[in-house]
Amino acid sequence: MSSALLQNEGPLLSRLIDAQRLEEEAVRYPQIEMWADALVVRARQLPRCLIWPVGAPAERIAGVAVARARGRIDVGLWNATVQGRTVLLFAVAGVTPLSLILVAEQLRGRGAGEVHACGVAITGAGEADGFESFRPLADESAQAVGPVAA
């Protein structure tokens, strides 16, 4: 591969690199607390919901959310029971909503009642048909000021 090709990445690769940088920034302090608080606000809008992180950065933010909410939210692991539950998928960044759509299909196959999604920057998720709703967490971050334990 020539060095010219490596220096001139295409638009998709550029978007992917930007998404990875956004994920790196999102899990740093103090942004990780801001996104965790926004996740808690969104989760509380869905009664008895189970947060389902999609990807390692989402898992890190979900862990902080549990701590900041003092355990008043539920986060699912891959072996969690989802039968009849409302599930909130959470991803940080993506150039497509495909990862969320595939996880939603899997969870519906395991009996999830409703599947909603949220994220920091997921291109095309608002128009995707794979879940009942998608909300950017930026919508919730304005409501989440300080620890959300109450």
In a domain, 149, yes or no: no
- Give pLDDT tens digits for 112-148: 999 999 999 999 998 999 999 999 998 876 565 455 5
In a domain, 136, yes or no: yes
* pLDDT at position 24 over 70: yes
Query: What are 32-64's pLDDT values in tens digits?
Result: 999 999 999 999 999 899 999 999 999 999 999
Range scoring the smallest mean pLDDT among 24-28, 55-59, 77-81, 116-120: 77-81
Which CATH number is 23's domain given?
3.40.50.2020
For residue 150, the model assigns a pLDDT of 47
Give the chain's domain count: 1
Alpha helices in the chain (DSSP H): 3-7, 11-26, 31-44, 56-68, 98-109, 138-141
Half-sphere exposure of 29 (CA within 13 A, CB side): 1
Q: Which domain holds residue 134?
A: 11-141
Q: Does some domain include residue 5?
A: no
- Answer yes or no: is 2 within a domain: no
- State residue 141's pLDDT score: 67
Is residue 39 assigned to a domain? yes
